[in-house]
Chains A and B, each alone.
Chain A
Amino acid sequence: MKEELFELLLRLADDHLVLGHRISEWCGHAPTLEEDLALPNIALDLIGQARSLYTYAGEIEGKGRDEDHLAYLRLEREYRNLLLVERPNGDFAHTILRQLYFSVFMQAWWREAVASTDETLAAIAAKAVKESVYHVRHAAEWTIRLGDGTEESARRMAAAVDALYRYTGELFETDQVTDSLAAAGVAPDPASLKDEWDRTIAEIFAEARLELPDPRTWQQTGGRKGFHGEEMGYLLAELQYVQRAYPGLTW
């Protein structure tokens, strides 16, 4: 069980670190001053959640790896994040939709995890669930404004839906790790969250006048096994640069 828990914590932590890094790339580049504060604010939430998860993962592993080691000193193939979160920012519509897909999933996941039999995970979830509610609201409001906005914003939002839907199947994948943790009441079964996710996304899309993607769309996979897109290498190069250039550096 310990190995499975470590694997799960690493997956979650990697999701949050990588998405947090992606969102932080908007800092100083967001379309308005207001968004330039909102997006890094969300990035800080995500990176904060990643820190708690890495720290706990290091304790569970018991090999002396701390949060910095796990975040900065692993190779690309060792990262377990979803392909969705490493997708490049693209234009603002892509960023918003990526956030919506992920946050709607995580809000349900954290809500269930509050009841985890693992006390530390339950405590992390209790804090994170409040933050995820805000992330969903932010992404949903923007999705509605852009989808039901001008001709151009609607066109761009629809293009984002087209580009990103194939990365959502991975959210609900199960394997021996998720199965045994779900059976032990440690973590929610991701597949059990699919109906709620579909419903929430459908409601938001209806309000945004966006067409739902074809559910039979072929789905990408591989992130959980360490197979990443080519963009991941560039992301890690930037993310790890300081720690690689100055090993052991602390703030």
Chain B
Amino acid sequence: MSKETTPLWEVFIRPRNGLAHRHCGSLHAADAEMALQAARDVYTRRGEGTSIWVVPSAQITASDPKDKDALFEPTAEKIYRHPTFYDIPDEVGHM
């Protein structure tokens, strides 16, 4: 089975109604229908899901791990961006 005839797919599973689909892994399959079937066997054998999405991996544009510093670090330095920075008056209660 070559990569050409069985491309890579990303699998998303929704564990329960009301929750979002979560990425849980990938697999090779000839097309979307076969990918869905394989996902059922590979990822939902122990009652993990109520719904499955499969997406061709080639359709995903991902950030480069090299850009990690530029993309994510600055936010960590601006502590006022984080909710824990502010003192909340007791009267407000839970927010």
Give the B-binding residues of A (Cβ under 8 A): 31-35, 37-38, 41, 137-138, 141, 145, 149-150
Contact = CB atoms under 8 A, between A and B. Distances in A.
Contacts of B41: 34, 37-38, 41
B94 interface: no
B44 to A, nearest CB: 11
Contacts of B6: 32
Nearest to A138: B37
A34 B30 contact: no
Contact of B34 (A37, A41, A141): A141
- Top 4 A-B pairs ranked by shortest CB distance? A34-B38, A38-B41, A37-B41, A41-B41
B1 interface: yes
Contacts of B31: 145
Secondary structure class of chain A's binding surface, majority of residues = helix
A149 B34 CA distance: 14
B79 to A, nearest CB: 46
Interface residues of B, number: 15
B77 interface: no
B28 A34 contact: yes
A149 B27 CA distance: 20
Interface string B29-60: 11101100110011001000000000000000
B62 to A, nearest CB: 23
B45 A32 contact: no
Nearest to A34: B38
B38 A141 contact: no
A144 to B, nearest CB: 9
Of A35, A38, A149, chain B has the most CB atoms within 10 Å of the CB of: A38
B37 A38 contact: yes
Nearest to B35: A34
A28 to B, nearest CB: 15
Interface string B52-75: 000000000000000000000000
Contacts of A38: 37-38, 41
A38 B45 CA distance: 10
Contact of B33 (A31, A32, A34, A141): A141
Contacts of B34: 141, 145
Nearest to B34: A141
A41 B38 CA distance: 11
